[in-house]
């Protein structure tokens, strides 16, 4: 078992994907925020204006998808053909799902994970004045396309 | 209880901090990666060259600290005066801590959380060929300085 | 009458502001969109989901304020302390106002103008499938602070 | 009539263009600056060194074309294959035209409009010490290629 | 003999490459650092912890490859498919080689030269506290692919 | 002798400058391009339109000064208060000097070196169709301000 981004000398490299064929690729990643009660109440209280909390996080996530190869040093730049960020409640957890598509030579797992993470960070930013004890976890939900085929969590 | 980044009409705003005094501020955030066995083995196996996995993640995290206000829409730009990223093992979890300092009018919690998240995403990127089932959680460890005072998780 | 960003040889320069005192500065810029009827109807029709059109443009404008010195070659980087973007209707024109503050050695006119322009471009982007004949004009509304004092359109 | 960047729930989305064929695409946008007399005189006075005013604005416009998908949240990234910015006088108005080409799955209207806008903002920046009453308007001149076909103002 | 990035009026332009065929392209550039004795000693002394000096420069170089079209105004954006940075000693000179590949309509000479330059600047940054008299020179080693064919220094 | 950007464990760090006083700082860096005859002739031939070659390189250099902390991983962000790029001929060498000022807690050597390097890369880009054998060397000319005092090459 070895690391694809590390050459034989143990040095980081952006691996050569010149010869790989372009295929349709898709990935979904999820961030789940564990929110203290006061934050849940504020986000769910209909009397508090907050229309833009999730809308702002959605835009931040979509823009982060496009910045992925700038943030993750060994990621290849990719022409993203779709990016979407959705929000759902699972009891007191806010569940963010980021879906990304491309037609290219590498997958879009990192793009989806980056989008979900930055959307979660943006929710944190907008709620941190209420309670700084917000936490979130991040994971890949699924990917399809490419030589390594499909994957589901 | 209300949202500081939302005005009375429920619209997102980068709040006015013109009148706030500059003080020394510090924050620490943590990302913990839950690694499948094969990834732990590869990262701990002395026979596999991997010197640059954590080194690359560290640089990615430090650079992300400086990009925070570009990623998080309502964050104020800040003159970061220190950024460090460390790695430790807690059994099979890889624990990343990102520490940030500034002297300014707003805190550096978002900078620390962004640095820790991007460092974790970079580790994911470099290990995902071994196993895509890596997950990570992110939280604030502590912050000091500013009107809201000290906070610890 | 001469150009402050051009030296005696006619060459572009980012002028020396090292000796200037830091003062509170503020500026407001406006973009007005002239919208074809079909776009006005769509934006005002309560039956069409469009909550995020203006919300997205607002976030784009605020983020552009922070990118001003990256876009305008001879602008000095500034620690923006407030950025807000508002929308109003003036008959069939959509009026965007971008307000910016800083405490620094140069003014924030360019930041406000850039924010208003990018918010207008974002509205164009989201409505262009309905009609590409949207136009917009951009102007400074007011500025205060600094050696050149206050100015109103 | 509905918004292509908004899904059925009224939420912003970077729409899926995975299935669209790549075609040659072209767009031209125009910014016209209404210049106070003192600015016109300075720009036309042969005795004032100013060679770089328009040259600087041209470079700023070309670079902004490449930054379009970073500035406009729901724009798809595109491999720009040509970008040019020209200047002409129409009486006392300075007319900027930005022309962009690509071979891709989405059009380059936003790229051309962004380039024209940032070139105009740069002229404003370099002339604002003479008179802050400069205004400019922005519009699409033409586009060709893609499913929606040709369009002229 | 004339300049390809300058039109007939002597004005900068990002030239039209729409009609050019996509081919495999490759380039290598080199930066050589002339290091004062104290810097050489520190870099070669096994007793000083410095594992990350070259590792940091490598990551900086790889990321700069991806930023090339943002830094060099008339460069076309390109989907880089490989980027690597290596280090070698030639007596007291540290030799950095940056190798880049793409499949596209323009070459990657500028990407390779930018990567080598930024890697060298990063080494300078990390050694400048020891001696500021470090210098470096930059040149193209080779390129292949495209209409102009192969080239070697 | 040790490395200031490396901690005791040999790990890269953006060092803590929180306690350092703000002082006026200045630096000058130089890039010298060794140009093949055909390039010298083209640049000096009055009959070839090329007004924008050096003008474009100047703008690229000034913008790179502002991007320094984004390119060089361990550089602190700084509020640049002046940036200028000049060109001179020394026989057949084109000499670029980049001058930078700030009032801050760290020096601007890296900003000046980055500006000079990117200006040189831009000249290379615009002349490479004539001859790819252009080389350039980069060095610090002088710096002043800060605890380490003045330095001249």
Closest alpha carbon within chain C to F57? C12
In chain B, which residues have their Cβ closer than 8 Å to the Cβ of A12? 52-53, 55-56
- The answer to whether position E12 is within a domain reads no
The residue assigned the tokens 């570009």 is: B70
Give, in order, the Cα–Cα distances in Å from F127 to each of E2, E9, F1, F94, F119.
9, 17, 42, 12, 13
Closest by CA position to D100, among listed D88, D119, D116, D89 = D116
Residue A50: its pLDDT value, please? Answer: 57
The alpha carbon torsion through C121, C124, C125, C126 (nearest 10 deg) reads 130
Question: Among residues D16, D52, D125, D131, which one is catalytic?
Answer: D125
Give the pLDDT score at B100: 97
The pLDDT, as a whole number, for residue E146 is: 84
Biggest CA pair distance of chain B? 60
Choose among B24, B55, B80: nearest Cβ to F76.
Answer: B80
pLDDT score of E1: 54
D interface toward E at CB cutoff 8 Å? 24, 55, 58-59, 62-63, 65-67, 79-84, 86, 101-103
User: Which residue among B3, B72, B139 places its CB closest to the CB of A42?
Assistant: B3
Phi-psi bin for D10: left (phi > 0), alpha (psi -120 to 50), beta?
Answer: left
Strands C135-144 and C80-90: unpaired
Tell me which chain C residue has its CA closest to the CA of residue D151: C132
Residues pairing with F88 in the sheet: F95
State the nearest Cα–Cα gap between C51 and chain B, in angstroms: 11
Tens digit of pLDDT for each residue in A48-65?
655 588 999 999 999 999
Q: Model confidence at B22, in pLDDT bands (50, 70, 90)?
A: confident
- Nearest Cα to Cα of residue C1 among D37, A136, B130, E120: D37
**Residue A104 pLDDT:** 87
All residues of chain B having their beta carbon less than 8 Å from the beta carbon of residue C76 are none
Q: Which of F24, F82, F86 sits opposite C14 (nearest CB)?
A: F82
Contacts of F7 in chain B (CB under 8 A): 84
Nearest to E15 among D58, D66, D82 (CB): D82
Active site residue C52: no
User: Which of B50, B51, B55, B66 is the best substitution to test chain E (most E C-beta atoms within 10 A)?
Assistant: B55
Residue B46 in this model has a pLDDT that exceeds 60: yes
Tell me the pLDDT band of B30, cut-offs 50, 70 and 90: very high
For residue E74, the tally of other CB atoms under 10 A from its CB is 23
With beta carbons less than 8 A apart as the criterion, state whether E38 and E131 touch: yes
Average pLDDT score over chain F: 91
Q: Please tell me which of the candidates F12, F13, F16 has its beta carbon nearest to residue B81.
A: F16
Compute the distance between CA of residue D119 and CA of residue D137 in angstroms, rounded to an integer. 12
Q: Which of C53, C109, C132 sits opposite D109 (nearest CB)?
A: C132
Residue linked to tokens 């209280």? A45
Range of the domain at D118: 27-145
Is pLDDT above 80 for A146?
A: yes
**Which CATH number fits the domain that encloses residue D105?**
3.30.70.640
- Interface contact A62-D11, CB threshold 8 A: no
Q: What is the pLDDT of residues E66-98, one digit of tens each?
A: 999 999 999 999 999 999 999 999 998 999 999
Nearest one of A87, A107, A89 to A97, comparing CA atoms? A87
For residues F116 and F17, what is the distance between their CA atoms, to the nearest angstrom?
26
**Per CB distance under 8 Å, which residues of C are interface residues toward B?**
24, 55, 58-59, 62-63, 65-67, 79-84, 86, 101-103
- Does the pLDDT value for residue D139 go beyond 90? yes
Decide which of A7 and B113 is more confident.
Answer: B113
* C-alpha distance from residue E147 to each of D43, E4, E13, E107, F127 (Å): 42, 14, 20, 10, 17
Position E1 in a domain: no
B interface with E, Cβ–Cβ < 8 A, is 51-52, 55-56, 58-60, 63
Q: Calculate helix-pair angle for A37-44, A109-127, nearest 10 degrees.
A: 90
Nearest-angstrom CA–CA distance, F53 and F85: 13
Q: What's the CA gap between D125 and D121, in Å, rounded?
A: 6
For the beta carbon of residue B95, count every other beta carbon within 10 angstroms.
Answer: 15
Of all residues in chain A, the percent with pLDDT exceeding 70 is 95
List C-alpha distances in Å: E57 to A70, E62, E140, F1.
Answer: 16, 9, 19, 20
For F85-95, what is each residue's pLDDT tens digit? 999 999 989 99
Q: Locate tokens 């103002």: which residue?
A: D153
DSSP for D96-129? EEEEEEEEESS--HHHHHHHHHHHHHHHHHHHTT
Range scoring the smallest mean pLDDT among D28-37, E16-25, F5-14: F5-14
Find all residues with CB under 8 Å of C129, minimum gap 6, and list them: D3, D4, D148
Do F18 and B66 count as a contact with CB atoms less than 8 A apart?
no
**Residue F61 belongs to a domain:** yes
pLDDT interval class at B49 (50, 70, 90): low
Q: Count the helix, strand and coil residues of chain B and give each as a percent rounded to the nearest 5.
A: 30, 35, 35
Chain E residues lying within 8 Å of D69, measured CB to CB: none
CB-CB under 8 Å, E117 with F6: no
Q: What is the CA radius of gyration of chain C?
A: 17
Kindly tell me if the per-residue pLDDT of A45 is higher than 90: no
Pairwise CA distance, residues C8 & D109, whole Å: 38
Query: pLDDT above 90 covers what percent of chain B?
Result: 71
Examine the pLDDT at F50 and tell me if it is beyond 60.
no
Sign of CA dihedral E67, E70, E73, E79: positive
Burial bucket for residue D135 (CB in 10 Å: 0-12, 13-18, 19+) = middle
Catalytic option among C45, C90, C125, C131: C125
Chains in contact with F, counting 3 or more C-beta pairs less than 8 Å apart as contact: B, C, D, E
- Residue A4: its pLDDT value, please? 78
- Summarised one tens digit per residue, pLDDT across range E48-74 is 655 588 999 999 999 999 999 999 999
Chain A residue with Cα closest to D14: A83
pLDDT in tens, F128-148: 999 999 999 999 999 998 888
Q: Which of E7, E11, E18 sits opposite D103 (nearest CB)?
A: E18
Which residues of chain D lie closer than 8 angstroms to F55, CB-CB? 51-52, 55-56, 59
pLDDT at E75: 96
Residue F109: inside a domain, yes or no? Answer: yes
Q: What 3-state class would DSSP assign to A106?
A: coil
Chain C contact set for A55 (CB, 8 A): 51-52, 55-56, 59
pLDDT at D121 over 90: yes
Q: Is E104 part of a structural domain of the chain?
A: yes
Could you give the CA distance from residue F62 to residue D125 in angstroms, rounded to a whole number?
15
Residue A41 pLDDT exceeds 70: yes
Task: Note the pLDDT of residue B90.
Answer: 95
Name the residue among C126, C53, C134, C140 with its Cα closest to residue C93: C134
pLDDT digits (tens, 9 = 90+) for A101-133: 999 889 999 999 999 999 999 999 999 999 999
Residues of F in contact with D60 (CB under 8 A): 59
- Say what the pLDDT of residue F47 is: 64
Please compute Rg for chain E using Cα positions.
17
Gap from E78 CA to chain D (nearest CA, Å): 7
Can you tell me the ipTM of this complex? 0.96
Task: Report yes or no on E58 lying in a domain.
Answer: yes
- Neighbours of B, requiring at least 3 CB pairs below 8 Å, are A, C, E, F
Chain C residues within 8 A of F67 when measuring between CB atoms: 70
pLDDT in the model for residue A102: 95
Percentage of chain B lying above the pLDDT 70 cut: 95
Residue A97 counted as domain residue? yes
Q: What is the pLDDT along chain C (153 residues), one digit of tens a residue?
A: 577 788 877 789 999 998 888 889 999 999 999 999 999 988 887 666 555 889 999 999 999 999 999 999 999 999 999 999 999 999 989 999 999 999 988 999 999 999 999 999 999 999 999 999 999 999 999 999 888 889 999
Predicted confidence at residue D149, as pLDDT, reads 83
Catalytic residue among A125, A131, A137, A150: A125
Residue in C55, C60, C63 nearest the CB of A52: C55
Kindly determine whether residue C55 and residue A56, on different chains, have CB atoms separated by under 8 Å.
yes
Residues of A with CB under 8 A from a CB of D: 24, 55, 58-59, 62-63, 65-67, 79-84, 86, 101-103
Q: How many A/D residue pairs have CB atoms within 8 Å?
A: 48
Alpha carbon distance F43, B65 (integer Å): 43
Most confident of E15-19, F95-99, F147-151: F95-99
Q: To probe the interface with C, which of B4, B9, B17, B18 has the most C CB atoms within 10 Å?
A: B18
Listed in sequence order, the residues at least 6 apart from B120 whose beta carbon sits closer than 8 Å to its beta carbon are A138, B31, B33, B57, B96, B136, B138
Q: Are C25 and C108 in contact (CB under 8 A)?
A: yes
pLDDT of F147: 81
Q: What average pLDDT does this structure show over F70-79?
A: 95
pTM of the model as a whole: 0.96
Say what the alpha-carbon torsion angle F17, F22, F26, F29 is, to the nearest 10 degrees: 10
Tell if the CB–CB gap between E52 and F11 is shorter than 8 Å.
yes
Contact C55 A51 (CB under 8 A): yes
CA–CA distance, D110 with C34 (Å, rounded to integer): 17
Candidate from A8-22, E2-16, E37-51, F126-140 with smallest mean pLDDT = E37-51
pLDDT of residue F96: 98
What are the pLDDT digits (tens) for D45-93? 766 655 588 999 999 999 999 999 999 999 999 999 999 999 999 998 9
Catalytic residues of E, by residue number, are: 125
If one counts the domains in chain A, the total is 1
Contact A65 D12 (CB under 8 A): no
Neighbours of F22 (CB within 10 A): 12
Query: Residue A121 falls within a domain, yes or no?
Result: yes
Token reading at E116: 């080598």
- Give the closest of D55, D60, D63 to F55, CB-based: D55
- For D4, residues 6+ apart whose C-beta sits below 8 A from its C-beta are C126, C129, D15
Three-state DSSP class for residue F101: strand
Residues across chain C: 153
Is C132–D125 a contact, with Cβ atoms under 8 angstroms apart?
A: no
Q: Which site among E79, E80, E102, E122 would you substitute to test the A interface, given the most A Cβ atoms closer than 10 Å to its Cβ? A: E79
Across the interface, whether the CB atoms of B60 and E60 are under 8 A apart is answered no
């Amino acid at each position: 078992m070895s690391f694809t981004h590390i050459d034989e000398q143990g040095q980081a490299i952006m691996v050569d994907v010149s010869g790989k064929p372009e295929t349709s690729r898709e990935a979904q990643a999820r961030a789940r925020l564990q929110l203290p009660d006061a934050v849940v109440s504020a986000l769910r209280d209909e009397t508090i204006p907050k229309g833009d909390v999730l809308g702002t996080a959605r835009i931040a996530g979509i823009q982060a998808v496009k910045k992925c190869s700038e943030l993750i040093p060994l990621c290849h730049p990719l022409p993203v053909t779709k990016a979407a960020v959705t929000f759902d409640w699972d009891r007191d957890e806010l569940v963010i799902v980021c879906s990304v598509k491309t037609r290219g030579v590498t997958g879009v797992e990192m793009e989806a994970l980056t989008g979900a993470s930055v959307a979660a960070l943006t929710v944190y930013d907008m709620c941190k004045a209420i309670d700084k004890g917000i936490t979130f976890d991040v994971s890949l939900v699924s990917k399809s396309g490419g030589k390594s085929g499909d994957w589901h969590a």
